[in-house]
Structure 1
Amino acid sequence: MIFTVDQTVEAGNRENEVKLKMPDNNHKCNSQKPKRILAKTHMYFKEYCDSTTIHGFKYFAESRSLCERLLWLILVLFSLSACVYLIVQTYVKFQQSPVIVSFATTNTPIYTIPFPAVTICPLSKARSSLFNFTDVMAKNQRRKKMSDKEKRYAKYMSLLCGAGHIYFKDESTFTEDFFSGIDELKIPQRDFMFICIFLDSQESCQKLFHPIIADQGICYTFNMLDRKYIYNENVVLDKKYHFLNQSTLGWTVDKGYQTDRKGRDSNYPYRALLSGAENALKITLRQNVSNIDHYCVNDVQGFNVLIHPPHTLPRLKKQFFTVGFKQSVMVSVRPNEMTTSDQVLQFDSSIRKCYFSTEKKLKYFKVYTPGNCELECLTEYTLKRCGCVSYYMPREEGTLLCGNANDSCMREAEYSLKRKQSLEVEKEEENGHYSCDCKPLCSDVTYTTEISGSYWDFEDQIQAWFSVFKVPRNKWLQYSKLTIFFEQDSFLTSERNELYSPIDFLANFGGLLGLFTGFSLLSAAEIIYFLTLRMCCNFRLYRSLFGQETDNIA
């Protein structure tokens, strides 16, 4: 059969038209594949909803109206949102306040803690036979000539009496001669400590009380730890001061007493077995009226006293009470003890908001206390501002001792540091910024006092005791009496425990999930199972991740 050229072209065009009209099966298959995957995923999700134990999900698998399914979707989302919100609040509380302070369930006997340390500072700083600050200041105001010894003593005493920023401001630093000078002038301990009785047993006052350098000059302390248990080896101290030679220390602030022995003969520091005035520390004080220095003492004449824990340094400028002449002062002591469980140690100090005694290392002190930390911070700040430190501050070899010319600088440094701390402004240093960060001790012992006093004339009492004899009165001596005792035989201890342990947080977390959604560990196992093992098994059995093919999947 013979075709012409035109017929051949026409046949080719008709064939092309037929090809264009025929459907492209490959394209159709490619376009339906995502739909089939989406349909299989939907069926697989419905299968999960039928099987899961989480509340509300089964309604998503039912062939119900759109309105009903939207209602359950809103309810489930609301429940999940409330659950997440409460879990976040619980987590924040767990992070920010994991520690709670509560009272112990039983009372603690007083013999488990030390008898408080007692520091006494005579308000008169010098013997009048050697130096009278009032007379010297009168000479200075009248511009009378003073001897070299008077000038030397006046420089030292003006710093102790708080007049250094006004008079004798010609020396910016003092040498070690300052300590020998005030030691020469001090009133001997035997002259003002007359009778000492502890736990109904009379003792030598020189045996019970030891001299220390405090912020009010030379003071005398009872039941305080020896300096080797407080200061580091780099601190410079004169051997005359704060040297108790107590090698049988049996108590630490974290662990308490290491033995079961009770009473007067137990390891140092001393402790009382019972409460009341019969088991007290009683001190009869006296002073020669010729040693009264009105220029150095502003208010009441007598003795400043501070009751404090044995492991802390006394800061009498911050807190004290005064025992005046012809007064009998009774001090009732109530101890406060804070203990901390071992579980709290796992939290960071910024979270528990306290330090253990050996946790934060200090430059000058072996044991951390808030008072030691504050004193060290003040020392470092004063050294940076003034180039020297005050006489009562800890210092290393080579650190200069501030003289009268730097008295104003020291006052300004202390005021500035207090202001920075109150405003929570960090202290500037060459290598960055840091604050004093003097958090409370996690385990500590403190003492609350109740003070009462009355008029007391020692010589009238002596005359009554020895009425048969005529006891001559000594108009040059003034007497005072101080009695310190525990108020009760036991007290309630405060305990610092963890509020939320990891187990408690997990229980709260699971409880909230169970309350709002019915979620449990098995629910989590179901989700993991449907996303992993079940898919693998489906592929092995049906060559499909979503299970056996069904007719309703397009």
Structure 2
Amino acid sequence: MSDNFRKLFPFVMLLYTKELVAPRPKPGLLRFRTKPPGIKYRDRLRSSFAHSTIHGMQNVFAEPHLWQRCLWLTIALGAGITGLSLYSVLRHRHNEQLLVSLIDTTQLPVYHIDFPAVAICPWSHVNWQRAPSALLRFLPRNPSAELQESFRQVLSVLDVVNFSNFYRARALGERNLTELRFMPMQKLVNYLAYRCDELFVPDSCVFDETPYDCCRLFVPEQTEHGQCLVFNSLISEHSRKKQLTNKFYPYKLSTAGEESGLQFTINSSNSHMRGGIKLPFGMILMIKEPRQWSNQLTYQLYPDTENLVAVHPMVMETSHNTIDMSPSKRRCFFDTTCCRTIGRIAWLHVFMKLC
């Protein structure tokens, strides 16, 4: 070093070109300084509830007195338990989907309600006066005696069978029906069924105090009790065509009470029945809704009697959210578009005469 440099810097600092070496500690384990004390859990909880949006929880830790903190804690816990209880009750009611009935009115005008559908079903479904012509119409030419007997057995089964009991057709299993497998059964049933002019006395039908031709009111329709003649129905193709051509169909009444319903006379003729049968020429009267296919509740009509049936329909309207329920709970089926009206309370009378 030069003399001038030494005069200016009396103290000389030596720089090492390699890494600095730390001094060795004393023998034994190294000791680290302890961490500063952290925040206690109580203080953290108090800080969290101090900024909480739960009502009352700020006061549980902010109040100076113990009894005040206990009071606010009781209030907050009680409110929470009450809220959970109400939530569980409402959730249970929503899952249960209870039906609630409300009576809107018991004085709905009768002309707002569709008149029920009335079905007349003979006990015997075959008019045996047309049996010889049916044999020539539906069997091939020159049928054998065995084929003719099989055809008569088929007619005997069709005479008494319906959609509720097919067990009477078991007797046909013992016969060879191979030659009858291509027979159009539906056309055969329609051909042998009783027609309107064969059942009703001419000019005997009266509806809403107005005389009608019975064949204009009653149309053939397949029901649970076989082929019947039905009034004011919307099930068969004939009924749907009538609705397109008549804007007042299904029919309604202008007034209620006696002499305001449907009245007709049935022609009791045993000549249409099969020989050797002791049963009288009786009828089944079925009253159902216009859009209902069949009804299990029926009435039996016997010859030489006058029958009066009083109908008391109760009409119900359902809300649209009912369609979300299962059919087992609501106990009815809806159309695919909306819930249709079934009825309100009204009073109707239907007169039936059987001669």
Does structure 2 conserve the Cα–Cα contact (< 8 Å) formed by 1:210 and 1:244? no
Alignment CA distance shift 1:332-1:117 (3 Å): same
Instruction: Please state if 1:84 is matched with 2:84.
Output: yes
Residue in structure 2 matched with residue 207 of structure 1 by the alignment: 216
What per-residue deviation string (whole Å, max 9, x for no partner) do you get for residues 64-91 of structure 1?
45x8856764664354234312211112
Instruction: Tell me the distance in 1 between the aligned counterparts of 2:110 and 2:83.
Output: 49
Does structure 2 conserve the Cα–Cα contact (< 8 Å) formed by 1:191 and 1:287? no
Alignment CA distance shift 1:77-1:36 (3 Å): same
Alignment CA distance shift 1:68-1:40 (3 Å): closer
Residue in structure 1 matched with residue 111 of structure 2 by the alignment: 111
Residue in structure 1 matched with residue 121 of structure 2 by the alignment: 121
Instruction: Tell me the distance in 1 between the aligned counterparts of 2:273 and 2:344.
Output: 33
Instruction: Please state if 1:320 is matched with 2:298.
Output: yes
Instruction: Please state if 1:267 is matched with 2:141.
Output: no
Does structure 2 conserve the Cα–Cα contact (< 8 Å) formed by 1:116 and 1:447? no
Alignment CA distance shift 1:150-1:276 (3 Å): farther
Given candidates 26, 33, 39, the residue that maps to 1:36 is 39
Residue in structure 2 matched with residue 414 of structure 1 by the alignment: none
What per-residue deviation string (whole Å, max 9, x for no partner) do you get for residues 434-473 of structure 1?
xxxxxxx66324999999999xxxxxxxxxxxxxxxxxxx
How far did 1:53 drift?
A: 7.6
Alignment CA distance shift 1:323-1:39 (3 Å): closer
Matches within 5 A, 1:8-27: 16=26, 24-25=32-33, 27=34
Does structure 2 conserve the Cα–Cα contact (< 8 Å) formed by 1:349 and 1:355? no
Residue in structure 2 matched with residue 330 of structure 1 by the alignment: 308
Given candidates 181, 184, 188, the residue that maps to 1:181 is 188
Instruction: Please state if 1:223 is matched with 2:232.
Output: yes
Secondary structure, counterpart of 2:254 in structure 1: coil
The share of aligned pairs that are identical, in percent, is 20
How far did 1:328 drift?
A: 0.8
Instruction: Tell me the distance in 2 between the aligned counterparts of 1:61 and 1:215.
Output: 78
- For 2:63, the aligned partner's letter is E
Residue in structure 1 matched with residue 139 of structure 2 by the alignment: none
- For 1:165, the aligned partner's letter is R
Residue in structure 2 matched with residue 348 of structure 1 by the alignment: 324
Secondary structure, counterpart of 1:306 in structure 2: strand
CA RMSD after TM alignment: 4.3
Secondary structure, counterpart of 2:242 in structure 1: coil
How far did 1:306 drift?
A: 0.7
- For 1:44, the aligned partner's letter is S
Residue in structure 1 matched with residue 354 of structure 2 by the alignment: 480
Matches within 5 A, 1:511-550: none
Matches within 5 A, 1:373-392: none
Instruction: Tell me the distance in 2 between the aligned counterparts of 1:74 and 1:226.
Output: 66
Instruction: Please state if 1:164 is matched with 2:169.
Output: yes
Residue in structure 2 matched with residue 487 of structure 1 by the alignment: none
Instruction: Tell me the distance in 1 between the aligned counterparts of 2:340 and 2:235.
Output: 23
How far did 1:480 drift?
A: 1.0
Alignment CA distance shift 1:447-1:284 (3 Å): farther
What per-residue deviation string (whole Å, max 9, x for no partner) do you get for residues 399-454 of structure 1?
xxxxxxxxxxxxxxxxxxxxxxxxxxxxxxxxxxxxxxxxxx66324999999999
- For 2:258, the aligned partner's letter is A
Instruction: Please state if 1:444 is matched with 2:342.
Output: yes
Instruction: Tell me the distance in 1 between the aligned counterparts of 2:220 and 2:267.
Output: 17
- For 1:203, the aligned partner's letter is Y
Instruction: Tell me the distance in 2 between the aligned counterparts of 1:309 and 1:297.
Output: 34
Does structure 2 conserve the Cα–Cα contact (< 8 Å) formed by 1:46 and 1:61? no
Given candidates 228, 245, 248, the residue that maps to 2:241 is 245
Residue in structure 2 matched with residue 54 of structure 1 by the alignment: 55
How far did 1:148 drift?
A: 4.0
Instruction: Tell me the distance in 2 between the aligned counterparts of 1:126 and 1:196.
Output: 24
What per-residue deviation string (whole Å, max 9, x for no partner) do you get for residues 257-306 of structure 1?
xxxxxxxxx621111110122222111012223334587786x6411111
How far did 1:118 drift?
A: 0.9
Alignment CA distance shift 1:154-1:216 (3 Å): farther
Secondary structure, counterpart of 1:126 in structure 2: coil
Instruction: Tell me the distance in 2 between the aligned counterparts of 1:319 and 1:191.
Output: 25
- For 1:325, the aligned partner's letter is P
- For 1:179, the aligned partner's letter is Q
Instruction: Please state if 1:153 is matched with 2:152.
Output: yes
Instruction: Tell me the distance in 1 between the aligned counterparts of 2:112 and 2:253.
Output: 9
Aligned residues: 310
Secondary structure, counterpart of 1:197 in structure 2: strand
What per-residue deviation string (whole Å, max 9, x for no partner) do you get for residues 56-114 of structure 1?
7524323445x885676466435423431221111221343265221114632121121
Alignment CA distance shift 1:43-1:272 (3 Å): closer
- For 1:248, the aligned partner's letter is L
Matches within 5 A, 1:242-321: 242=238, 245-248=241-244, 267-293=248-274, 301-314=281-294, 318-321=296-299
Alignment CA distance shift 1:73-1:243 (3 Å): closer
How far did 1:349 drift?
A: 3.5
Does structure 2 conserve the Cα–Cα contact (< 8 Å) formed by 1:153 and 1:181? no
How far did 1:332 drift?
A: 1.1
Does structure 1 conserve the Cα–Cα contact (< 8 Å) formed by 2:60 and 2:70? no
Instruction: Tell me the distance in 2 between the aligned counterparts of 1:295 and 1:165.
Output: 21
Residue in structure 2 matched with residue 357 of structure 1 by the alignment: 335
Does structure 1 conserve the Cα–Cα contact (< 8 Å) formed by 2:262 and 2:349? no
For normalisation by structure 1, the TM-score amounts to 0.47
Secondary structure, counterpart of 2:103 in structure 1: strand
How far did 1:180 drift?
A: 3.6
Q: Which has the higher contact order (CA 8 A, sep 6+)?
A: 1
Secondary structure, counterpart of 1:164 in structure 2: helix
Secondary structure, counterpart of 2:115 in structure 1: coil
Instruction: Tell me the distance in 1 between the aligned counterparts of 2:275 and 2:73.
Output: 86
User: Could you list the runs of 5+ residues in structure 2 that have no partner in the other structure?
Assistant: 1-22, 133-143, 162-167
What per-residue deviation string (whole Å, max 9, x for no partner) do you get for residues 312-367 of structure 1?
2235xx3321111111111111122221334x26x72439846531249xxxxxxx
What per-residue deviation string (whole Å, max 9, x for no partner) do you get for residues 503-549 of structure 1?
xxxxxxxxxxxxxxxxxxxxxxxxxxxxxxxxxxxxxxxxxxxxxxx
